[in-house]
């Protein structure tokens, strides 16, 4: 690890104080979280550490696909940390392995017993470091029940957990029960932010490289890289290769030209990964040399600062990474043609998320939860098409709940005036209406497919039915019906991967559903609370 010593010391202090914290470490991709965590593992294994067992778990590469799989992988890591010579829990391990054919509840009970034994009888404590925790959270395959159980492992115990993610835990959670789980209340309310190198980190990097550089050169190092670790260390490697012993700002400028060419693909990746709003903000900063902070959204400012692309200068935000700035200037399309942006399949994949994000920005937020669920889908385009539609069930459920509260004034039954209209000829021969007449049942069904059938008739989308909705349109019904079919595709994938183009189509349906609800529900949806089904 180069630099970060003050940050590591701060983390270790939080983990070793009288009442240690569970910690959430947050930082963008390629900023050095994993390097920091590996250094934390080494620190926790030293003789003076209060932690007897240290478990490092990289969840980003092969994330568990179920509660049961999560517990099994965690159990395997726990046993590995205890050592191959440990026979004390051989029988329990055998039982857990049998649990692979059982369910998560059985495996978790055994895991909890073992962790309690580790603390109470062996008088040991466990430090768990979960790196890449973004992936299992964003896949929405883990349940609130699992996180409730995990809380039991740590609440009131000596064991501690550290998670590392690119966004905060609750921002990433797609399952409502997971997002609201009391598990997160155990963590320090202020996540540990990992950002670009500061002056002390840069100084440590220079001493590690055995480079002597004048004050002007040091300033240029910061100006060219913004402290982004990959850019800074690449520039130092180039300076080391030059063989010069006394380095000046001119040496740094020449080396930066080489690095810009060598890291073109990496710089392009950094730019491609930016959100549409962050791209727009950065281009405004570049075009105006700096920009009043009030002209940039807080989210966009935080995004650029966290990566070292921009810095605060009084009341203004200005570019702080010349390598990135030059790349963006050169990468700007020389024409405004769609062919340049979408003319090839590769270009389409690179640019489509930006287009969808811009469309999202045009839609006023009428329900924050629903808007967040759709926004989360965009983050998986184009790299994870199998994951980007995981929110469809929750999007469908929440949208329907909003519609019924608006149309039926929160009642859980079809209004009498609608019943009177639907039971008249020729609608009384409609098989859905006929069945309800026979059962004398006009309650709103809990099944979402049956609710869509009601919505079809309410919006006049079925033969012989006039539109009787207050404001919800046929467009909304068609979009929700299509989303329901996409949902079935994701829930019954049978091993068939979803193509990027198909995933984009599903996400676009969700975005346009937001637009319809904005027009049709107006200012009422933001006040609506939904029941336990969402």
Q: In this structure, are strands 310-313 and 316-319 parallel, antiparallel, or unpaired?
A: antiparallel
Task: List, in order, residues 6 or more apart from 29 with CB less than 8 Å away.
Answer: 166, 273
- The two tokens of residue 308 are 């070292």
Q: Are 174 and 394 in contact (CB under 8 A)?
A: yes
Give me the sheet containing 53-58, strands edge to edge. Answer: 53-58, 126-131, 160-165, 23-26, 192-193
Q: Is the pLDDT of residue 332 over 70?
A: no
Sign for the pseudo-dihedral over CA of 407, 412, 415, 418: positive
Integer Cα distance of 163 and 132 in angstroms: 8
Q: Is the pLDDT of residue 124 over 50?
A: yes
Percent of the chain with pLDDT over 70: 91
pLDDT band at 531 (very low <50, low <70, confident <90, very high): very low
- The two tokens of residue 494 are 């049978």
Percent of the chain with pLDDT over 90: 61
Task: List, in order, residues 6 or more apart from 497 with CB less than 8 Å away.
Answer: 385, 386
pLDDT band at 334 (very low <50, low <70, confident <90, very high): very low
- The two tokens of residue 137 are 């959270």
Residue 505, CB-side half-sphere exposure with 13 Å CA sphere: 11
Q: Which residue has the tokens 């702080």?
A: 320
Q: Which residue has the tokens 């903000």?
A: 281
pLDDT band at 253 (very low <50, low <70, confident <90, very high): very high
Integer Cα distance of 409 and 402 in angstroms: 10
Residue 335 is predicted with a pLDDT of 42
Q: Is the pLDDT of residue 232 over 50?
A: yes
Higher pLDDT, 177 or 473: 473
Q: Where does the chain hold its CATH 1.10.10.10 domain(s)?
A: 267-331
- How many CB atoms neighbour CB 436 within 10 A? 19
Integer Cα distance of 525 and 367 in angstroms: 6
Q: Which residue has the tokens 């004034």?
A: 409
Residue 125 is predicted with a pLDDT of 87
- The two tokens of residue 165 are 């993610």
Integer Cα distance of 39 and 28 in angstroms: 18
Q: Is the pLDDT of residue 492 over 80?
A: no
Integer Cα distance of 218 and 232 in angstroms: 11
Q: Can you name the CATH fold of 199-262?
A: Helicase, Ruva Protein; domain 3 (1.10.8)
Q: Are 271 and 265 in contact (CB under 8 A)?
A: no
Residue 523 is predicted with a pLDDT of 60
Arithmetic mean of pLDDT, 355-378 = 92
- The two tokens of residue 158 are 């000596």
CATH of domain 5-193: 3.40.50.300
289 in helix, strand or coil? Answer: coil
Q: Is the pLDDT of residue 92 over 70?
A: no
Q: Is the pLDDT of residue 35 over 70?
A: yes
Residues in the chain: 534
Q: Where does the chain hold its CATH 1.10.8 domain(s)?
A: 199-262
pLDDT band at 477 (very low <50, low <70, confident <90, very high): very high
Q: In this structure, are strands 126-131 and 160-165 parallel, antiparallel, or unpaired?
A: parallel
Arithmetic mean of pLDDT, 206-225 = 92
Q: Is the pLDDT of residue 532 over 60?
A: no
**Mean model confidence pLDDT for the chain:** 88
Domain 267-331 in this protein, CATH class: mainly alpha
Task: List, in order, residues 6 or more apart from 317 with CB less than 8 Å away.
Answer: 285, 290, 291, 292, 293, 296, 301, 304, 310, 311
Residue 337 is predicted with a pLDDT of 55
Q: Where does the chain hold its CATH 3.40.50.300 domain(s)?
A: 5-193
State the SS3 of 215-248: HHHHHHHHHHHCCCHHHHHHHHHHHHHHCCCEEC
Integer Cα distance of 227 and 224 in angstroms: 8
292 in helix, strand or coil? Answer: strand
Q: Is the pLDDT of residue 495 over 50?
A: yes
pLDDT band at 100 (very low <50, low <70, confident <90, very high): low
- 45-67 per-position pLDDT tens digit: 998 899 989 999 999 888 999 89
Integer Cα distance of 356 and 375 in angstroms: 9
246 in helix, strand or coil? Answer: strand
Q: Which residue has the tokens 């983390």?
A: 11
Residue 442 φ then ψ, to 5°:
-120, 20
Arithmetic mean of pLDDT, 152-179 = 87
Of 98, 127, 106, the closest CA to residue 115 belongs to 127
Q: Are 70 and 147 in contact (CB under 8 A)?
A: no
Q: In this structure, are strands 316-319 and 290-292 parallel, antiparallel, or unpaired?
A: antiparallel
Of 12, 77, 4, the closest CA to residue 48 belongs to 12
Residue 510 is predicted with a pLDDT of 96
Lowest-confidence region among 4-8, 458-462, 484-488: 484-488
């Amino acid at each position: 690890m180069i630099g970060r010593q003050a940050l590591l010391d701060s983390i270790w202090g939080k983990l070793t104080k009288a009442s240690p914290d569970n910690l959430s470490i947050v930082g963008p991709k390629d900023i050095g979280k994993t390097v920091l965590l590996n250094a934390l593992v080494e620190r926790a294994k030293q003789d003076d550490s209060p932690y007897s067992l240290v478990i490092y778990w990289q969840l980003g590469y092969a994330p568990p696909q179920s509660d049961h799989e999560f517990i099994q992988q965690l159990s395997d890591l726990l046993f590995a940390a205890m050592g191959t010579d440990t026979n004390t829990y051989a029988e329990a391990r055998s039982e857990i392995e049998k649990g692979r054919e059982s369910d998560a509840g059985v495996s978790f009970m055994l895991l909890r017993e073992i962790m309690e034994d580790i603390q109470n009888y062996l008088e040991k404590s466990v430090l768990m470091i979960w790196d890449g925790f973004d992936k299992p959270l964003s896949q929405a395959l883990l349940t609130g029940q699992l996180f409730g159980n995990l809380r039991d492992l740590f609440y009131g115990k000596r064991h501690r957990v550290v998670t590392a993610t690119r966004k905060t835990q609750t921002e990433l959670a797609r399952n409502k029960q997971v997002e609201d789980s009391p598990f997160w209340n155990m963590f320090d309310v202020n996540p540990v932010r990992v950002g670009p190198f500061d002056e002390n980190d840069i100084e440590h990097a220079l001493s590690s490289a055995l480079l002597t550089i004048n004050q002007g050169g040091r300033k240029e190092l910061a100006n060219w890289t913004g402290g982004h670790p990959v850019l800074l260390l690449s520039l130092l490697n180039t300076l080391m290769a030059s063989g010069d012993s006394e380095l000046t700002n001119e040496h740094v400028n020449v080396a930066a030209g080489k690095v810009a060419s060598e890291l073109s693909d990496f710089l392009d990746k950094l730019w491609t990964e930016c959100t549409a709003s962050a791209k727009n903000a950065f281009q405004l900063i570049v075009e105006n040399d700096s920009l009043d902070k009030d002209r940039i959204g807080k989210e966009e400012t935080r995004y650029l600062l966290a990566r070292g692309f921009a810095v605060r200068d009084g009341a203004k935000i200005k570019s702080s990474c010349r390598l990135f700035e030059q790349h963006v200037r050169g990468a700007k399309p020389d024409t405004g043609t769609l062919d340049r942006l979408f003319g090839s399949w590769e270009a389409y994949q690179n640019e489509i998320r930006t287009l969808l994000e811009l469309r999202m920005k045009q839609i006023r937020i009428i329900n924050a939860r629903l808007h967040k669920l759709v926004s989360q889908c965009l983050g998986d385009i184009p790299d994870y098409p199998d994951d980007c539609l995981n929110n469809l069930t929750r999007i469908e459920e929440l949208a329907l709940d909003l519609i019924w509260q608006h149309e039926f004034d929160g009642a859980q039954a079809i209004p009498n005036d609608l019943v009177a209209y639907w039971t008249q000829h020729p609608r009384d021969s409609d098989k859905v209406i006929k069945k309800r007449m026979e059962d004398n049942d006009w309650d709103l069904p809990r099944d979402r497919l049956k609710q869509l059938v009601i919505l079809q008739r309410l919006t006049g989308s079925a033969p012989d039915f006039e539109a009787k909705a207050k404001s919800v349109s046929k467009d909304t019904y068609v979009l929700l019906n299509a989303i329901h079919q996409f949902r079935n595709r994701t829930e019954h994938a049978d091993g068939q991967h979803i193509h990027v183009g198909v995933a984009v189509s599903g996400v676009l349906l969700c975005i346009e559903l937001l637009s319809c609800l904005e027009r049709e529900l107006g200012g009422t949806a933001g006040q609506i609370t939904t029941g336990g089904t969402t």
